[in-house]
Structure 1
Amino acid sequence: MQVTETLNDGLKRGYTINLPASELDAKVMEKLTEAQPEIAMKGFRKGKVPLSLLKKQHGPRLMGEAMQESIDGALNKHLEESGDRPAMQPEVKMTNEDWKEGDDVEVSVSYEALPAVPEVDFSAIKLERMTVKADEASVTEALDNLAGSAQNFEDRKKGSKAKDGDQVVIDFLGKVDGEAFEGGAAEDYPLVLGSNSFIPGFEDGLVGVKAGEEKDVEVTFPEDYQAPNLAGKTAVFSCTVKAVKEPKPAEINDELAKQFGAEDLEALKSQISERLEAEYAGAARAVAKRSLLDALDSAVTFELPPSLVEAEAGQIAHQLWHEENPDVQGHDHPEIETTEEHTTLAVRRVKLGLLLAEIGQKAEVQVTDQELTQAIMNQARQYRGQERQFFEFVQQNAQMRQQIQAPIFEDKVIDHIFSLADVTEKEVSKEDLQKAVEALEDE
């Protein structure tokens, strides 16, 4: 077997591989000899089928296997000796298309090698990380929101009209074509107007009613309603309003704290303060991460594989197009052209991706099985009732696991760099942090 270099231009590599017919034939005979003891054929005892007959019957298939194994072996040996790491799957083509058994096989191999990534002096990177303390006003605001979510309802003044957000207590009976239907009746039902918990139009029809009033509300069931016998039908609900109640936030006291799992109000305030500061820390990390990536982008320059940049630019263009056209769910749309802006962003992403991967490899950064499993479980919670199926799907899908693992790996590499860089902390206001976060979103 002979490997000859045909191209070495920047990151582009090209080679021809010549596989002698004698080597391929020997590999086929080796496979046949290995399988012969287990093969039975009419007219022959098991293990006694002549190799010539086996070759006639199984030779073409085994020749294909021998070719593939030889090419893969030659390519892997070359990559091991050269140290090249292909940016994408190498392109392999058979060049003597008129090949017939007994001829040598000639194959061309081409790929783009991943570049050598320069070292970075992390200690020379100077960063500022914002810190924000949870002030009393923020804790009070959070407490008010909790009290609002734990609200009670109290009777409005007699004769008051129900408003959006009020609770009406009603008896109702629904009919379609004058006939009552299953599930269309209830007594003493507490309904919050504006909660959208009933058929569209039902709650709107009760805005303005008073306690003691009777009212017929006409609605049309949606075409995709879960009960086929009601889908698209018009119904009339006869309602008796027993009470109209206005929302009253819960009192901010120890009882409220206990509703949210705290021992008392002070303990709840401490929990809120910790949660707020954790949220601030997450936002501050995102800002610091962007600053770090900007610094890394400026610190190093190296040649990038054009195929990776082109593929990334295409993905960016495709993603942005779908964001601008949210009604198009599939891929049945016009061809999306990449722009200079897409390519510029792709260059940054590919460059930083290769750099972070190299840094992580040298630092022996690993994503543990426990970390990956936890991340999969977190995503599975988005699929209510199908968590197990999602978890099993990911376990069987290597590409999906890689997609979930990649951001975990990146964050661990970023934390590794943070630990080596010159990072100073600066206490700022919540508003300053918010402005910094908004600036990230605008870029």
Structure 2
Amino acid sequence: MQVTETSTEGLRREFKVVVPAADIDQRVTDRLTQLGGQVRLPGFRPGKVPMGILRQRYGKSVMGEVLEGTVNETSQTTMTDRGLRPALQPKIEITSFDEGKDLEFTMAVEILPEVEPSDYSMLKLERLKAEVDDSAVDEGLKKLAEQQKRFTPVKKARAAKNGDQVLIDFEGSVDGVKKPEMAGSDFELELGSNRLIPGFEEGLVGVKPGESKTLNLTFPEAYPAKDVAGKDAVFEIQVKEVREAAESALDDELGKVMGFENLDGLKDALRRQAEGQFEQHSRQRLKRQLLDQLAETESFDVPAGMVDMEFDAIWKQIEAARQHHLETKDDPDHHHEHDPDLDKPEEELRADYRKIAERRVRLGLLLSEVGRRNDVQITQEELNRAMIAEARRYPGQERQVLEFFQKNPQAVDSLRAPILEDKVVDFIVDQAKVSERTVSPEELMRDPDEEEASEEKPKAKKAAAKKPAAKKEAAASEKKDAEKDAGEKPAKKTAAKAKKPAAKKAD
């Protein structure tokens, strides 16, 4: 095999590789010989099939197999012999080959840069801490009490108002035909909850117990049940009770409802939960400081191909966000806060997010190299914990999720990167000089971008020096880290006690 390096530019290397025809022929012969001992052809004993017949019958397929194997083997040998670590799969193009002639191909590959980690004992970081006070626990108790709202019949008959609950029987019809799925008995409906189609709850404001009501409504065009979507409907309703929300008591009964022995047990759980959230935010803020400092101090070339891949992944999300922004920015009923950056010209936005992609790749390579040099390992126990945390994101399907991981090793590999990143971050933090500062819960939970924006307001003329890409990347990284650390535990869903009628509002 003859290898000639034809180009060296930055991290990109190009080679011309020539494999002699004799080597290719020998590989084909060896493979046919191996095949001859396996195939069975009429008139020949196993292993006794003449080479000529084997070449005639299997030569073309074996040649394709040999060429693929030869290219893979020789390209890998080329990189190994030169100590090259490819950043991505090399691009290979066969430039010349015919039976009986040399195999010639070119190989272009981007290599990983040489990364020399700094002395991290010189880093100065600040860990923010906040104490959980009684007011935060009390606020949590109030929210839980509101969620456990109880309704009792009004003591003195009065008209129903928003916030009340009505107990009703109802039947619905479309084009004069009653539909069983549009009926309900002893149905409990909180007025103002927006559970049912537009106009249903509003039409019951003002009703009294024992009153009958007829509502002429129209199903939304986007209603999931296509047979009634966009159609007019008539609902005949009998009001059986009007109930008002009982004052939520902060007592031992609330603690028992939430699964604790008493109110004190619930308070302790809320305090521990708040402490855990504070600890997660403290870690996120510390990690962001670290990444920002590393991004400022560590400088080395990064493979353009890796940046392209990262940018493409980011840009798909940005394009979806921009489309949503364009569709809803003038909609008065849309109250979501838009990112003002989405109004930037596309060229400027692309430049910003390419910087984000480059930063992510650089930090990823740096952390990976620190982990490699310091033999940072991931244990099976850590992987198991990550799999369990992922399974908990899907209540009721935990077993299926765990079985999926057991049957798909590549899915388990996807959990390794964030675990390794956290361990390397911890390794670096352990070497750095870390001071602690106690702050208020509000300051700890505040978005760092808001703090920086506030500090920069008096410096309008220096706005151009602001690094939006770095800050957006860090914020996105922190959000992802927060979701991972918290296990993205979804709120528990209460099962419906009664069958939901067709009048239910589409999600």
Q: TM-score w.r.t. structure 1 length?
A: 0.88
Cα distance in 1 between the residues matched to 2:108 and 2:83: 15
Go from structure 1 to structure 2 and tell me whether the alpha carbon gap of 1:208 and 1:143 turns closer, same or farther (over 3 Å shift): same
In the superposition, relative to structure 1, how do residues 441 and 273 fare at CA in structure 2: closer, same or farther (>3 Å)? Answer: farther
Unaligned 5+ segments in structure 2 are 328-345, 454-470, 472-507
State whether residues 287 and 436 of structure 1, in contact with CA within 8 Å, keep that contact through their aligned partners in structure 2.
Answer: no
Deviation of the 1:313 alpha carbon: 2.9
Tell me whether 1:339 sits opposite 2:350 in the alignment: yes
1:2-401 equivalences in 2 (<5 Å) = 2-96=2-96, 99-156=97-154, 158-222=156-220, 229-326=227-324, 339-376=350-387, 378-379=389-390, 401=412
Is 1:149–1:249's contact at 8 Å kept on the other side of the alignment?
Answer: no
Distance 1:340 1:230 in 2: 48
SS in 2 for 1:325: helix
* Alpha-carbon spacing, 1:184–1:65, altered in 2? closer, same or farther (3 Å): closer
CA contact (8 A) 1:173 1:180 kept: yes
Task: Answer whether contact 2:117 2:366 (CA < 8 A) is retained.
Answer: no
Aligned length: 435
CA–CA distance in structure 2, aligned partners of residues 368 and 165 of structure 1? 53
Q: Secondary structure at the match of 2:37?
A: helix
Aligned pair in 2 of structure 1 residues 204, 404: CA closer, same or farther (>3 Å)?
Answer: farther
Q: Relative to structure 2, which stretch is displaced further, 234-243 or 179-188?
A: 179-188
Q: CA deviation at 1:78?
A: 2.6
Q: State how far apart, in whole Å, the 1-side matches of 2:143 and 2:449 are.
A: 23
* Between 117-126 and 403-412, the greater mean CA deviation after superposition: 403-412
Q: Secondary structure at the match of 1:95?
A: strand
Of the candidates 402, 415, 422, which is equivalent to residue 411 of structure 1?
Answer: 422
Relative to structure 1, the CA distance from residue 206 to residue 127 in structure 2 (aligned partners, 3 Å threshold; closer, same or farther) is same
For residues 226 and 4 of structure 2, what CA distance do their matches in structure 1 show?
A: 70
- The one-letter code sitting in structure 1 at the alignment partner of 2:194 is N
SS at match of 1:240: strand
Counterpart CA distance in 2 for 1:139 and 1:402 is: 39
Partner of 2:431: 420
- Counterpart secondary structure, 2:34: helix
Measure, in 1, the Cα distance between the counterparts of 2:78 and 2:167.
79
In structure 1, distance between residues paired with 2:109 and 2:276? 46
TM-superposition CA deviations, 1:362-415 (whole Å, max 9, x none)? 233334445445545544565677766666666666665544432232222212
Partner of 1:332: none
- CA shift, 1:228, in A, is 5.5
Shift of 1:8: 2.7
Matches of 1:160 and 1:133, distance apart in 2: 47
How far is the alpha carbon of 1:21 from its aligned partner? Answer: 0.6
Q: Report how far residue 143 of structure 1 moved.
A: 0.7
Partners of 1:35 and 1:264 in 2: CA distance: 76
Deviation of 1:306 after TM superposition, in Å, equals 2.2
Residue number in structure 2 paired with 1:434: 445
Q: Deviation at 1:294? A: 1.0
Contact kept? 2:16, 2:107, Cα under 8 Å:
yes
- The DSSP-based 3-state class of the residue aligned with 1:171 is strand
Of 370-379 and 203-212, the range deviating more from structure 2: 370-379
Partners of 1:233 and 1:387 lie apart in 2 by 41
RMSD across aligned positions (CA)? 2.8
The whole-number CA distance in structure 2 between the counterparts of 1:15 and 1:180 is: 77
1:190/1:319 CA distance change after superposition, 3 Å: closer
Which one-letter code corresponds to 1:360 in the other structure? G
Which amino acid letter does the alignment assign opposite residue 422 of structure 2?
A: D
Question: Could you tell me the percent identity over the aligned residues?
Answer: 41
For residues 321-372 of structure 1, the C-alpha deviation after alignment (integer angstroms, 9 at most, x for no partner) is 222223899xxxxxx7673222322221111010011112223333444544
Deviations 1:87-145 (A, max 9, x none): 1111111122xx32000111111111101111222211111111111111111111111
Change (3 A) 1:53 1:327: farther
Distance 2:282 2:102 in 1: 63
Residue identity in the other structure for 1:408: I
1:6 is paired with a residue whose SS is strand
Deviates more, 1:397-406 or 1:139-148: 397-406
Aligned partners of 2:294 and 2:363 also within 8 Å: yes
Which whole-Å deviations, capped at 9, do the CAs of 1:248-282 have from their partners, x for residues lacking one? 24211111111112222222211111111111111
Measured against aligned partners, the alpha-carbon deviations of 1:226-262 in whole angstroms (never above 9, x if no partner) come to 6565444432221122222222242111111111122
- Structure 2 length-normalised TM: 0.78
Residue type at the aligned position of 1:346? A
